[in-house]
């Protein structure tokens, strides 16, 4: 297990790398050029500048999350070829500085979606919350307005430029059902995987969050079946997964321990976090501690440990605790606690082997 921490970059994150340095066992920073819109080439200069800064703290920069996929690629528009060329160039440029894994997702329009960014929990902290009924009944624009009014910080996929085109995007997706989205993903992968292989990079697709259709948009990376389909598209080593216990696990039908057992070998990157799922399907994010939520975190770690998992691991969204003002889900404190829990579990299982 190679422990990492996601960071949004200088001037774009409340967390400082000096502080991340004090969390035991963190080896690398999961980074991205967050200021670049999807579809643009990541230039060698911009990459080098970011990587040099992170290295100056002694962290590795092996994992990028995410190089976002332009909407035209997901929609399968004729303009996609140029965006795919740009994506390939970004892969090559990232390979040159030694990046090993690129996390990406193929979710139409929105990245992860929540209805409340600061939902109060009983312990006095706040956390991200997904009210299923609300999402099923609200128009996306209404939801976006409501959530944005609660925070200045945008969720990924909720950038103002994209939101301005919301109705246009929804119109375009009327032509794209699940089968079409799979075709568009296959087209993209067939084009980029040979380049990734050559660059020594594994692509690692992140599951959809939540792992089912919302607002009538297709969602395809939702469970074990999706993994089987992905492998059928290409069994190249570059065609990898990001295991995310909280995203895929938000559907109680997904047994995340079984999924880890079966697919961790194809996942060079793992996000480990907990969610508490309610009877009506709504969920909120909890601490990483197993008993606080619905996901069997300790047995996920045990499974990875049994397999001598050497991939990159990071805590995922945390609660907002001790008054921390931070990006929703991405504060320092609760993710640091999450890391120490994962470290503890790992050490304990490691010890049992002796
Ligand atoms: C959710 C988070 C996401 C994820 C992106 C990957 O579980 O990990 O923000 O990073 O969807 O592209
Ligand atoms: Mn995740």
Look at strands 28-30 and 101-104 and give their pairing: unpaired
CA–CA distance, 32 with 51 (Å, rounded to integer): 10
Ligand index nearest the alpha carbon of residue 32: 1
Ligand number with the minimum distance to the CA of 128: 1
Find out whether 218 and 226 touch, Cβ atoms under 8 Å. no
- Residue 30 burial (10 A CB sphere; 0-12, 13-18, 19+): buried
Torsion, CA 174, CA 208, CA 254, CA 333, rounded to 10: -150
Q: What pLDDT, on the 0 to 100 scale, is given for residue 110?
A: 86
pLDDT at 128: 95
Ligand 1 atom at shortest distance from the alpha carbon of 246:
7
Calculate how far, in angstroms, residue 65's C-alpha sits from the geometric centre of ligand 2.
10
Nearest to 117 by CA among 100, 131, 105, 104: 131
**Complete edge-to-edge strand list for the sheet that includes strand 239-244:** 28-30, 2-6, 312-315, 269-272, 239-244, 202-205, 101-104, 63-65
- Write out residues in the chain with pLDDT < 50, as ranges: none
- Residues contacting residue 109 through CB under 8 Å, at least 6 positions apart: 71, 140, 157, 162, 166, 169, 170, 173, 215, 217
Q: Ligand 1: list residues with CB < 6 Å.
A: 65-66, 103-105, 111-112, 156, 206, 209, 244, 246-247, 271, 316
Residue 220 near residue 208, CB atoms below 8 Å: yes
116, 128 in Cβ contact below 8 A?
A: yes
Atom of ligand 1 nearest to the CA of 111: 11
Residue nearest atom 9 of ligand 1, based on CA coordinates: 112
Interface confidence (ipTM) of the complex: 0.96
Mutate-to-test residue for ligand 1 from 70, 106, 112, 221, highest number of ligand atoms within 8 A of CB: 112
For 6, the token pair is 């996601």
Residues belonging to the active site = 206, 244, 271, 316-317, 330
Residue bearing the CA closest to ligand 1, atom 8 = 316
What are the counts of helices (DSSP H) followed by strands (DSSP E) for the chain? 14, 12
**Predicted pLDDT at 167:** 86
Nearest CA to ligand 1 atom 3: 112
Which ligand ends up closest to the CA of 209? 1
| Distance between Cα 270 and ligand 2 center (Å) | 8
From 105, 267, 338, mutation site for ligand 1 pocket: most ligand atoms within 8 A of C-beta: 105
Tell me 21's DSSP state.
Answer: T
80 burial via Cβ count (<10 Å: 0-12, 13-18, 19+): buried
How many A from CA of 351 to the centre of ligand 1?
A: 32
Task: Report the separation in Å between the CA atom of 112 and the middle of ligand 1, taken as the mean of its atom positions.
Answer: 7
């Amino acid at each position: 297990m190679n422990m990492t921490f996601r960071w949004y970059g200088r001037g774009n994150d409340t967390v400082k790398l000096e502080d991340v340095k004090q969390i035991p066992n963190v080896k690398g920073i999961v980074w991205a050029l967050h200021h670049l819109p999807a579809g643009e080439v990541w230039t060698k200069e911009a990459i080098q500048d970011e990587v040099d800064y992170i290295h100056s703290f002694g962290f590795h920069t092996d994992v990028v999350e995410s190089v976002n996929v332009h909407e035209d690629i997901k929609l399968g528009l004729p303009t996609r070829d140029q965006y795919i060329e740009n994506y390939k160039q970004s892969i090559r440029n990232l390979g040159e500085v030694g990046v090993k894994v690129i996390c990406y997702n193929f979710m139409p329009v929105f990245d992860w979606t929540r209805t409340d960014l600061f939902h109060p929990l009983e312990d006095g902290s706040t956390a991200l919350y997904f009210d299923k009924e609300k999402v099923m009944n609200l128009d996306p624009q209404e939801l976006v307005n409501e959530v944005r009014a609660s925070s200045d910080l945008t969720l990924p996929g909720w950038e103002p430029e994209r939101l301005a085109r919301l109705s246009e995007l929804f119109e375009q997706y009327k032509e794209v059902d699940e089968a079409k989205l799979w075709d568009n993903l296959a087209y993209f992968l067939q084009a980029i995987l040979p380049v990734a292989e050559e660059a020594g990079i594994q692509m690692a697709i992140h599951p959809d969050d939540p792992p089912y259709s919302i607002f009538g948009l297709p969602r395809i990376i939702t469970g074990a079946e999706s993994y089987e389909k992905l492998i059928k598209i290409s069994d190249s080593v570059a065609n990898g997964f990001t295991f995310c216990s909280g995203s895929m696990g938000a559907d109680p039908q997904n047994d995340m321990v079984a999924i880890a057992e079966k697919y961790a070998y194809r996942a060079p990157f793992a996000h480990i976090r907990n969610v508490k799922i309610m009877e009506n399907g709504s969920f909120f994010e909890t601490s990483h501690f197993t008993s606080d939520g619905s996901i069997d975190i300790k047995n996920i770690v045990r499974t990875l440990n049994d397999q001598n998992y050497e991939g990159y691991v990071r805590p995922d969204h945390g609660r907002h605790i001790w008054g921390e003002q931070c990006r929703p889900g991405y504060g320092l404190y609760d993710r640091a606690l999450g890391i120490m829990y994962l470290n503890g579990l790992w050490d304990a299982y490691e010890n049992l082997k002796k």
